[in-house]
Structure 1
Amino acid sequence: MTTLETVLDGLMSRYKERVPDVSAIINAMIEEGVIVKDSDIENDHIAFRTIGVPHLGIQSFEKIFLHNGYTKKDYYNFSEKKLDAYWYAPPADKYPRIFISELRVKDLSPEAQAIIHRYTDEVTADPVDSIDLNNGAAVDKFLHSALWRTPTLADYQTLAAESEYAAWVIYNRYYLNHFTVSVHNLKPGYNTVADFNAFLERRGFKLNDAGGKIKTSPDKGLLQSSTVARMIEATFANGEKQLIAGSYVEFAERRVLPQFAQLPPAAIKREHRREGFEANNADKIFESTYSNQTGKS
C-alpha cells in the first residue's frame, strides 16, 4: 500500500465509524443490487475544513497531498460564509479529488477571532513540517490528532452563533468532512442525482434542501446532493456534553462534456466528464452541517 493509500484508508475507516449514514447507504446499495461491495463505489472527492491562522489553514494542510502527487487547481471564494477554497486533482483517476476550504478568521468579529486564537495560538509552528510525509502511518496519526485543546461549550456556542463553520472546525479539527459517491458510474435507475436522491429518500435518508435538494452548476454539467449531518454527542472541556453536527455524505453526477457526447458509454472515462467544482453548489453543500438543516424534523 502506498503512503497515499494508507492515508486515504485511515481517513475513510474512521469516517465510517463516526458517520453511520456511510455504512447505511452502502448497505442499502448492496441490498438493492446497485453494487456488490463498497469498493465498487467511485469516490468523487473528499473534503476538509481548516482555519486561516498562522501555521495552519490551506497552506499547511495542502502540503500532505501535494507531496503525494496531487495538483492544486481552481480557487473558490465564499463571501457570505467567509471562506476560501481550492480543489486538488489526484495523481491517478483511482484516487478522489480533494477539496480544502479555509475560514477567513480576520473577517469575523473581534470576539470570534479572540476565541479562535485562544485555541489555535497553541500551535506555534507549522505542524506538517515536522511530519515525515513519506510515512503513511505518521500522516494518518497526525490527521486524527488534536492540534489544540478541546474547546469549552460556551466558546463553541458563541462561535456557532456567528459562523457554524468556525464552530465545526474548532471542535472537529481536521476531521474528514465528507466523502462523495460518484453516481454517474452506477447502474441505470441510480446513475443520476435525481434517481439516487429518490432511492435515498425511499430508504429514509434526510437530504440537505438548501438551494434545492439538487444543486446544479450553470452549465448543467455538475449536479450534487448530500445527506444532512447526523447529530453526535460531543464532549467539551470540563466534561460538558451537547449534540452537534457530525459529518455527512455527498453525491455527485458529472455529465459527459458536449464534445464527447457521441462516445459509447463503455468508452467514457473521467476525462470525458465535467471536471472541477462549482462555488454555488458547494456553498449550499456546506450547510449540511448547519442548524438550518440539522434542526429540521
Structure 2
Amino acid sequence: MTTSPTIQTLVAVLDGLMRRYSERVPDVQKVFDAMLDADIIKSPAEVDNDHIAFRTMGVPNLGLASFEKVFMHYGYERRDEYNFAEKKLTGYWYSPPRVDSTKPQFPRIFASELRVNELSAEAQRIIHHYTDRISDPVDALDLDNADAVDQFLHQPLWTTPTLADYQTLLKESEYAAWVIYNRYYLNHFTISVHNLKAGYNTIDEFVDFLQKRGLRFNSAGGVIKISPDGDLRQASTVAQMIDAEFAGGDTFRIAGSYVEFAERRILPQFQHLPASKITRQHRREGFEASNADKIFESTFTTQTNR
C-alpha cells in the first residue's frame, strides 16, 4: 500500500511529539520498562496509542479554532463537544484518518480550550497581556513540512510569563497556569490497555501492576474513572514536576505532563465476535465528560502535592 505524503507528514509529526514528550516525562519510560520487564510487550512500538491531548487558550487567533487546523489538515475530523462548566473549559475529540483497517489507527485527539472570558478581570488581563499581540500562527505554518510543524508544537507562542503572573493564575485556574507556561506541549498520551495480553488487559489489572512498580496515580474521583455506561474506563499518573524558569530568572517547580491509560470495552452488539476479529470500531468510542473532568486534575496541586 502506498502512503500519501500527507499521511507520511502526520507520522513524522506524531513521532516528533512522542519523542519530545517521552524525554520530558520520565514516567513514560518507567511504564515501558515495566511492560518490557514483565514481558507484556517486546517493544514500545507494540503499544496502541488510544489518544493524545492538548490544552489551549480560548482567545482570538489561538484556541481550538487555530489549533485544530493542524490536525484537520492531515484528515482528522472534529467530533463531539464537551463542556466542563466548573473548570470553564470546552473540549472536542477528533477522529483520525483511516488508512488501513487491518492495522492500529492513528491516535484520537482530545483538545480543550479555556473560556478566558469567564475568568476574573485580573486573570483575563494577565492572559491577554501575553496573547493579544499574536496573529494566528497556524496561518503562517507550512503544514506539509513535518519539521516545521514539530518545531511549532514545541516552541513558545508568547513570552515567558513571570512567576507572579503564573501564581496569580494558579489560584484561579490551574488549567490557565499550566497553559501559560507549557503552551502546546503534549499534555498526555494514552495506552490502550484492552489490547494488551491477558492478565494486563483490564484497567484494574494494569493499574494494580503499575502501582506495585511505584507509579503514582491521580486519585480525583477515584483512581479508575468509569463512564456511566461502564464501557470507558480510564486512569492517569500524577503529572511529572519540572523545574520551570520564569521571566526575570525566577525558578519554581510546576506540573508538566503525565501518562493516561484507557480500557474501551467491546460494545454489546459485538460481544459474539472472536477476539481475533475485534478492532477499534467494535469498542466503545468517544469520550466521557465526567471522566475527562477528573483526568484534567492530573496536573493540579491537589494531586501533585499529595
TM-score tier by shorter-chain length is over 0.9
Q: Could you say which residue in structure 1 is the equivalent of 2:106?
A: 95
Pairing 1:220-239 to 2, within 5 Å after superposition? 220-239=230-249
1:63 and 2:69 matched: yes
**What are the superposed Cα offsets for residues 46-95 of structure 1, whole Å, 9 maximum, x if unpaired?**
00000000000000000000000001100000000000000000002520
Residue 104 of structure 1 corresponds to which residue in structure 2?
Answer: 115
Q: Give the alignment partner of residue 10 of structure 1, picking from 10, 16, 24.
A: 16
Unaligned runs of 5+ in 2: 1-6, 99-103
TM-score, structure 2 normalization: 0.95
The residue type paired with residue 207 of structure 1 is: F
1:121 CA displacement:
1.2
1:205 and 2:215 matched: yes
How big is the shift at 1:148? Answer: 0.3
Which of 16, 27, 32 does residue 21 from structure 1 map onto? 27
Matched residue, 1:243: 253
CA distance in 2, matches of 1:270, 1:8: 19
Cα separation, 2, equivalents of 1:54 and 1:118 = 13
Aligned mates of 1:169, 1:131 — CA distance in 2: 21
- Given the two structures, how large is their TM-score scaled by the length of structure 1? 0.98
Structure 1 CA distance for aligned equivalents of residues 147 and 97 of structure 2? 20
> 2: CA distance between counterparts of 1:70 and 1:167?
28
Distance 1:134 1:13 in 2: 19
- Structure 1 residue aligned with 2:49: 43
Give the Cα–Cα distance (whole angstroms) in 2 for the partners of residues 61 and 288 of structure 1: 22
One-letter amino acid matched to 2:124 = Q
Write the letter of the residue equivalent to 1:214: I
* Matches of 1:19 and 1:122, distance apart in 2: 31
> 2-side partners of 1:53 and 1:90: how far apart?
26
2:133 counterpart residue number: 122
1:74-89 to structure 2, matched below 5 A, reads 74-89=80-95
- Give distance in 1, aligned partners of 2:145 and 2:209: 40
Q: In structure 1, what is the equivalent of residue 4 of structure 2?
A: none
Distance 1:232 1:129 in 2: 31
Task: Name 2:3's counterpart in structure 1.
Answer: none
Which residue type is aligned with residue 304 of structure 2?
T
Residue correspondence of structure 1 range 142-153 to structure 2 within 5 A: 142-153=152-163
Alignment of 1:157-236 (within 5 A): 157-236=167-246
How far apart are residue 115 of structure 1 and its match?
0.4
- How far does residue 135 in structure 1 lie from its aligned partner after superposition? 1.1
Cα deviation, residue 122, structure 1: 2.5
**C-alpha distance in structure 2 between counterparts of 1:90 and 1:149, whole Å:** 32
Per-residue deviation, 1:13: 0.3
State how far apart, in whole Å, the 2-side matches of 1:234 and 1:74 are: 34
Amino acid at match of 1:245: A
Cα displacement string for residues 89-138 of structure 1 (whole angstroms, at most 9, x for unaligned residues) = 00025200000000000000000000000101121x21100011111111
The 1-side partners of 2:11 and 2:70 are apart by 13
After TM superposition, give the deviation of residue 231 of structure 1 in Å.
1.0
Residues in 2 aligned to 1:197 and 1:118: alpha-carbon distance in whole angstroms:
42
Work out the CA distance in 1 between the residues paired with 2:89 and 2:105. 29
Q: Which moved more, 1:135-144 or 1:164-173?
A: 135-144
Task: Give the fraction of aligned pairs with identical amino acids, expressed as a percent.
Answer: 65
Aligned-pair distance for 1:193?
A: 0.5
How do residues 127-138 of structure 1 correspond to structure 2 at under 5 angstroms? Answer: 127-138=137-148
